[in-house]
Structure 1
Amino acid sequence: MAEARCAVSQPRIEPDDEEVKYPSRNTFRVWRRFLVKRFYRTRNLIYNGLWPTPIWNLGVLIFILLTLQLVQGSRTRWPSTILWQFADSINIPTDLPYGLSEILVSIFFGLIFFIALLYVRRYLLRLLLSYRGWMYETPRSQGLCTKLWGLTVRLVSGYSPLLYSCQQSLPRLPVPSLNETLTKLIDSLIPLYGENSNEIIALKKQAEEFAVSPGPKLQHILVLKSWWALNWVTDWWEKYIYLRGRSSLPINSNYYTMDHSFWKPTSRQISRAAVTLNQFMVFKQKLDHEEVRPLLIRNTIPSCMYQYERIYATTRIPGHEIDVLLHNNASKHVAVLRKGLIYRLHMFDMDDKLLSPASLEEQIQWIIEDADKHQDDHSYAEKCLPAFTCIDRQTWADIRKQYFSEGINKESLDIIENAVFFITLETIAVDTLIERGQYLMQGDGKSIWFDKSFNLIYFTNGRMGLNCEHSYADAPAVGHCQEFVMTNELIQPLYTKDGFAVKDPNFKQGKMKVPQRLIWDLPESINPHIDMALSFALKSKENIDLVVRMFDFYGKGFIKTAKVSPDAYVQSALQLTYYTYYKKLALTYESSMTRLYLLGRTETVRSLTSNLAEFVRSMHDETVSKEKKVSLLRKACNKHQGLYRDAMNGKGIDRHLFGLYVLSEALGYDCQFLKQTLTLPWTLSTSQQPQQQIATSPDCNLPEYDAKLGPGGGFGPVSDTGYGISYMIAGNKKIFFHVSSKRSAQITDSTRFMDILFQTLCDMRNLFE
């Protein structure tokens, strides 16, 4: 039946005709593309391999050595003597006509000196980047030592790096001290239980026993791994936290991001999709050519960029015990979902040119019309296939093996899993922040392919957003990509006054390939699995209570006048909000990046400290003066800022405890101490999202961009009885909050929490009046 349906309704694919008519032309084009790609790839490999030492240094060294020999005019004078003696010892010809031997010796020793210089600069830069004193000083109060260090880093770094040039010069993530980690762990739990509580007394005893055995042995093995591994924790983190996780991806792992907060560049769904698809592919090409510059903190200190390698064309393939990541960077098509039908859309024409926004408008219009025409030709199961990506990984792996391991089903699934990304052309409109967030987080149960690295969802009113898988990269990497697209929508004339994509009169698009509707051959026995998956997805969706709001009473501008860190200030407000609501403190997780180290990902900042607990309680004590409360707040914020910096510098405790636990399990130790500390529920799981990562982006504080700020995105709660909170401090006047919880908890209420949070922020400002 599937073959018959394909023959009747499948559009004719243009590439076949082209290849038959012009075989020689196609062969030439294929070879040309191959040679061009190979050239740029080889050039970038050489460029990155030599960084930070430019190739012209080799010419300078050869010139100096040659000049030295010719000017001296004798092989018996120092330092020429040493060069010629060494040349004789390794059988370099020295009896050639005058000048040729000197050139040969100069080239040989110039190359040796160049390689030595290369490695000296690289390891010197790695040593310099290991210095972290600059992070504990504000840019305006840097000491002379830090200023000299920064100048030295710039001199050693040399010329402008490509995307991955700095990777070999980044320092390795250090292993924290075992005793310091145990001490910090107990300190982080004292405000939760009380210093003299039974829980803390028992925990101290367990920590002392662990510090005797088997802690030191596990620590030594971890240090040994740090000597040979590029990063001693990242591979375990990706494997055990993400890929071995058997729970469903929506809510538990994936996250979402929104486009502009209130402004829309167009109300036309097709045009918005066409323009942004083109821009996302332009960014991919920049990544492929390494034209995106590495992120530099204070325009000096590079960050690790390895996560950018898998942003595009990556899919998390379900496995029975562990998932795997499929990455196909050669992919040139995307998968498009419309009314349950999935299409293969080629992003390049027959001449291997990226489709322009105007051409994509035509292709997307064709898909919409074809889906409207043929939606009744396909079964209920065929139109609900994305629901399988909503269920637990083991069940999805079993279904995938049973129904999608061969034949046309495997071919169609391969097209989806090898696509650059997945696109949903929705038939509904969402406008408010809450509506957009709720849909982007989970869709309708059958509209998002959660296994893909990221999904682009387009609504009928021109709104859009992303749903992203988490195992391959963290949110800032994808946020950088999205910021590129959103920024170009602001500063470039991509749309006409009527909302259509602008056509470039000088651009000539080659012959395009017609989109291909995917065909499936699904037996009736799959229907119960579809019903189960869809039911599970809808039940999970109904259980999530998500609220997204903008706080615009004040923002970063006022917080800085209070002389505290904006992030620490918001964290204090979150803890105070929870205490006001529940009359108790909450164990809080805040994510921090460790990308100052090679292959670094994240570390945990334990925001709940004794200083913060003292401030929170003082806010509910009318006998404490405003001045005292302000003093306690600043003390708590300074403590938090120190913890955040420590986490970025590899001095956190949670990844260390995780690494020790992985080793204890591998070596057969039953460490109840580690199990207990690592399974404590994070009542508040929080994350701050960066507002601007591209240096050339316009100033978001300008009035004309007030409605165009990105509100960021959100995620589900980690604890069944807790909250998932993300926030974006958007310029000087606004803060966007995303608060999620589970309705099944009964004790949580995202709306109530948000209401108290906004009142808390107002109360905290009143302290400074």
Structure 2
Amino acid sequence: MAEARSATKEPIVHVEDFEEGQDVKWKVAWRSWRRTMLRRFFRVRNLIKNGMWPTSLWNLGVVVALVAIVMVTDYPIMKVVNDKFWNFGEYFYIPKGPPYFLPKVVIVSCLIGVIFFIVLLFIRRYLLRLLLSYRGWLYQNPKSQSIKTLIWCILVRIVSGSTPTTFACQLSLPRLPVPSVDSTLNKFLESVEPLFTSEENERLKKEAEEFRKTIAPKLQSLLVLKSWWATNYITDWWEKYIYLMGRSPLAINSNYYTMDNGFWKPTEHQSTRAAGLCYMLMQFKRKIEHEQVVPLLIRNTIPVCMYQYERLFGTTRVPREDFDEIVHYDSSVSKHIVVLRKGIYYKLDMFDTAGQPLAPYAIEKQIEWILQDADSQQESEGARSAEGLASLTTLERTDWARKRTKYLGSGINQESLAIVEKAAFMINLETRTFEGFTERAKFLLHGDGKVIWFDKSMCLHFFPDGRYGLTAEHSWGDAPVVAHLLEYSAYEEVLGELYKDGRAGNPDSINQDKVKPPVQLHWNVTDELAKIINEAGLFAKDTFSFSSLYFFLLQNNEDLDLCVRRHMDFGKGFVKSCKVSPDAFIQLALQLAYYRENSKFALTYEASMTRLYLNGRTETVRSLTKEACEFVKSMVEDNRTTEEKIHLLQNAGKVHQKLYRDCMSAEGWDRHMFALYVACKGLGYESDFLHHALTLPWTLSTSQTPQQQMVGNPTITPEHADKASPGGGFGPVSDQGYGVSYMIPEDTHFWFHVSSKKSCPTTNSDRFVDQIFTSLGEMKQLFTVQQNES
């Protein structure tokens, strides 16, 4: 039995904790106390520094010095101010004695300096918040901004003052405003007009009008009240009701993946690449904890919310019966990673016994030990008794919550589970190699049902050929945060000195005696639990459920139809010469491709960020506009001249670009309608309009993966085109539609990740990518013909 094998395992005790059976070493106790004090010191220091931003202690020192100078000098021009300061000092009893004036000068100057500093702090903070509420800059070309915007930009930089730490800007960001009901309803009705007949549109307008006149004012008042006290009136509801209350399995339905460099890799060794990336990720983690990550600034001026970075590491989505919980562990707990190899789990401490982070070479040696140890135990039934345990995280969430409590809620299983969930992140040392992008991406999205712990914020997969990829849980944060992390790592891999002669780091840079050995995690897998794990693995691969008189696929890796392909004919360099936004150009190509394939339009979701506001996450850009439809029809029906088609394309591109900017500026409407719906349900009302509006299927769900968030990153250039990442992707939102993720890495090419369901007779991911490429080619041909004619 598994519990008998676990009981006979030799306990693993760290040598540094004990000496010949005596009490704990005083040096270990001293180091532990010292690390705790340092951690608290930096935490308090950062809190004070962030609380003072955009001012600084330098401002306080200057004011104190100026007041003191005025008090001890006797310039006629400053006499009135001098008298005021000395009169203020009379309120304090100071014993007379030589030199009598010095204590009074010190007390008065310090008090006035502190008062002035506090007033200046709040004036600058609220002035900056007011300035950052201006959004006119978004609608102007950076190279041709108005005088008003230039003056505004100068004021922002003056008020911002010194370079902020990672989270310093949070208190100065504006809060997300609540749009008017009239604006939201009008924009929504306009966005769905191309999808319905005139009769359906009229019926929807009547429902909207009834909603506007009845319960909408009450719901709006509630949202306005919430916006006054909540940091963001949407985000907490969005996380709870969109993510955490979802009961579907995370694989394919919620989690997403990202890939490494397109055609370049720094090493052929699995252990070396794993060591280098683990080292870089832990460095980024420490930078976040010490608030040394440079906050993102749009146009090097406008800060965005960095809230999501707090939960990038050491975070787990814990399943509950009603709704899940996001649990984050701080740096004092989350100092290790969990390594999975051939079904065996290991705890790998990322700090040595002196509390210092492991060097890349030390991590590489630890990983090589794990590879050898796991490979030597592959025939051992006891060591691999928990193989496939991660498949439990692929289950429907309520089912997983119950099984987690019953089988992993006590004893050695609870202890091992706690180590997994408290880990900074997980890595999987895979045994299989996937040559093609599509095959590798498909594995990263859903695995084989055994190797991805879908609840963890991040799971990295390292392949025998030196490549890697990442699977991310979605509820804690959005893809741009993960993309920033991987861009930071790629920068160091390409331009840094992370690898030496194909290996990680320098062997002479470590003291192996201080490195803690990996610890194998043990699990008590009873026959009953083994059967459940096996069933969970089958569920992940191919499971049907009977509900509402229909068979529908809950989770099926084999049913996922994924295609990853690079478009090489042209990139954003050519698109910009056409005076069209690259994002708008691709969105119009998607509309044209879908219409050619299905002879109808599709409700389209494109994600945009609202991180210009405190705790902002995303807003929906509804890319299907009247102007886009008119352009698509002109291409399909071919009843317009080339000049007319180009005009329609450019006009549709401008409309889309404005729509995207509106969503960034809190002038979208989908999140507002979502909040109205939550308030409606919470107050016990029913609304046919809100129900219909929020249940329309997103046949096309699209997203652009950001590639260059670090200022001056030279790895994203045509010279480094082979090093640019293909980006990542996700599963289709609708079983009858497509999930499309695209990457615009640099000027010469695009990447597309298209997903759909094989069980749907009307979709085919390869065919749709062909249609996208054809559409892009036809759109390019318009401008080529125009240039030839001119």
Question: TM-score w.r.t. structure 1 length?
Answer: 0.97
State how far apart, in whole Å, the 1-side matches of 2:675 and 2:697 are.
19
What residue number does 1:129 align with?
A: 132
Q: Quick one: distance in 2 between partners of 1:326 and 1:176?
A: 32
**Match for residue 342 of structure 1 among 341, 345, 355:** 345
Secondary structure of residue in 2 paired with 1:737: strand
Letter in 2 for 1:469: E
Structure 1, residues 95-130: CA drift from partner, whole Å, max 9, x if none?
Answer: 672232122111111110110001101111111000
In the TM superposition, 1:323-342 aligns within 5 A as 323-329=324-330, 330=332, 331-342=334-345
Pairing partner for 2:496 from 492, 496, 502: 492
Q: 2:627 aligns with which of 606, 611, 621?
A: 611
Cα distance 1:10–1:552, how it changes in 2: closer, same or farther (>3 A)? farther
User: For 1:555, which of 555, 558, 571 is the aligned residue?
Assistant: 571
Given residue 302 of structure 1, which amino acid in structure 2 is its aligned partner?
P
Q: What SS class does the counterpart of residue 299 from structure 1 fall into?
A: coil
Amino acid across the alignment from 1:180: S
**Are the counterparts in 2 of residues 381 and 526 from structure 1 also a CA contact under 8 Å?**
no
Report the AA paired with residue 270 of structure 1.
S
The letter of the residue matching 1:212 is: K
Aligned 8 A contact 1:349 1:510 in 2: no
Q: Aligned partners of 2:154 and 2:396: how far apart in 1?
A: 52
**Aligned position for 2:479:** 475
> Does the aligned pair in 2 maintain the 1:739–1:750 contact within 8 Å?
yes
Q: What are the residue-to-residue correspondences of 1:149-548 with 2, within 5 Å? A: 149-194=152-197, 197-329=198-330, 330=332, 331-378=334-381, 382-497=386-501, 499-503=502-506, 505-539=508-542, 540-548=556-564
Tell me: CA distance 1:582–1:52, structure 2 relative to 1, closer, same or farther (3 Å): same
Match of 1:142 in 2: 145
2:732 & 2:466 partners in 1: Cα distance?
A: 29
Deviation at 1:10, TM superposition (A): 4.8
DSSP 3-state at the match of 1:513: coil
Q: Residues of 2 paired with 1:107 and 1:500: CA distance?
A: 56
TM-score of the superposition, structure 2-length normalised? 0.94
Cα separation, 2, equivalents of 1:643 and 1:86: 57
Is the aligned partner of 1:734 residue 2:758?
A: no
Q: Which blocks of at least 5 consecutive residues in structure 1 are unaligned? A: none
Cα offset, 1:673, TM superposition: 0.8
Q: Aligned with 1:581: secondary structure?
A: helix
Please tell me whether the aligned partners of residues 715 and 724 of structure 2 are also in contact (alpha carbons under 8 angstroms): no
Q: Provide the C-alpha distance between the structure 2 equivalents of 1:395 and 1:93, rounded to a whole number of angstroms.
A: 72
Q: Give the number of equivalent residue pairs.
A: 764
Matches within 5 A, 1:83-122: 83-86=85-88, 93=94, 97-122=100-125
Point out 4+ residue stretches in structure 1 off by more than 6 angstroms.
none
SS in 2 for 1:166: helix
Matched, 1:591 2:639: no
Structure 1, 685-694 or 347-356: larger mean CA deviation: 347-356
State the alpha-carbon separation in 1 of the partners of residues 453 and 715 from structure 2. 35
Match of 2:45 in 1: 43
* Alignment correspondent of 1:14: 14
SS at match of 2:389: helix
Corresponding residue of 1:746: 761
2:783 alignment counterpart? 768
CA contact (8 A) 2:704 2:742 kept: yes
Partner of 1:5: 5
Among residues 737, 752, 774, which one is paired with 1:759 in the alignment? 774
Moved more, 104-113 or 254-263: 104-113
Closer, same or farther: CA 343–10 of 1 in aligned 2, 3 Å: farther
Any residues of structure 2 matched to 1:641-720 within 5 Å, and which? Answer: 641-703=657-719, 705-720=720-735
User: What CA distance in whole angstroms lies between the structure 2 residues aligned with 1:746 and 1:425?
Assistant: 37
Most deviating of 488-497 and 733-742: 488-497
Answer whether contact 1:10 1:516 (CA < 8 A) is retained: no
Q: Using the alignment, how far apart are the partners of 2:437 and 2:350 within structure 1? A: 31
Q: Contact 1:92/1:105 (CA < 8 Å) preserved in 2? A: no
Find out whether 1:722 has 2:737 as its counterpart. yes
Corresponding residue SS for 2:637: coil
Provide closer, same or farther for how the CA distance between residues 118 and 129 of structure 1 changes in structure 2, counting only shifts above 3 A: same
Percent identity between matched residues is: 50
2-structure distance, mates of 1:3, 1:174: 57
Q: Secondary structure at the residue paired with 1:688?
A: strand
1:368 Cα deviation after fit:
1.5
Give the secondary structure class of the aligned counterpart of 2:428.
Answer: strand
Q: Tell me the distance in 2 between the aligned counterparts of 1:184 and 1:205.
A: 15
Distance 1:403 1:663 in 2: 38
Secondary structure of 2:601 counterpart? coil
| 1:302-325 alpha-carbon deviations (Å, 9 max, x no partner) | 010010000001000000001111
| 2:582 maps to 1:566 | yes
Distance 2:128 2:380 in 1: 62
1:33 shift after superposition? 1.1
Separation (CA, whole Å) in 1 of partners of 2:648 and 2:461: 45
**Contact 2:89/2:104 (8 A) holds in 1:** no
Contact 2:715–2:723 (CA<8 Å) still a contact in 1? Answer: no
Cα deviation, residue 493, structure 1 = 2.9
User: For residues 663 and 85 of structure 1, what CA distance do their matches in structure 2 show?
Assistant: 57
Unaligned runs of 5+ in 2: 543-555, 785-790
Which of 627, 632, 647 is the aligned partner of 1:631?
A: 647
Task: Quote the Cα distance in structure 2 between the aligned partners of 1:148 and 1:300.
Answer: 13
Does the CA-based 8 Å contact 1:296-1:302 persist in structure 2? yes
Q: Please state how far the C-alpha of 1:711 moved relative to its aligned partner.
A: 0.5
Secondary structure of 1:691's counterpart equals coil
Instruction: State the alpha-carbon separation in 2 of the partners of residues 594 and 378 from structure 1.
Output: 51
Q: Could you tell me whether the CA contact under 8 Å between 2:494 and 2:715 is conserved in 1? A: no
CA contact (8 A) 1:192 1:586 kept: yes
1:510, distance to aligned residue in structure 2 (A): 4.8
Q: Compared with structure 1, are the counterparts of its residues 283 and 229 closer, same or farther at alpha carbon in structure 2 (3 Å cutoff)?
A: same
Shift of 1:502: 3.0
CA distance in 2, matches of 1:443, 1:155: 50
CA distance, structure 1, for counterparts of residue 93 and residue 530 of structure 2 = 77
Return the alpha-carbon distance in structure 2 between the equivalents of residues 188 and 362 of structure 1.
57
d(CA) in 1 for partners of 2:12 and 2:741?
A: 47
Which secondary structure state, in structure 2, belongs to the residue aligned with residue 256 of structure 1? Answer: strand
The amino acid that maps onto 1:111 is V
Deviates more, 1:511-520 or 1:582-591: 511-520
Q: Determine helix, strand or coil for the equivalent of 2:138.
A: helix
Q: Deviations over 1:225-267 (max 9, x none)?
A: 1111111100110111111111100111100000001111111
415-424 vs 97-106, greater mean Cα deviation: 97-106
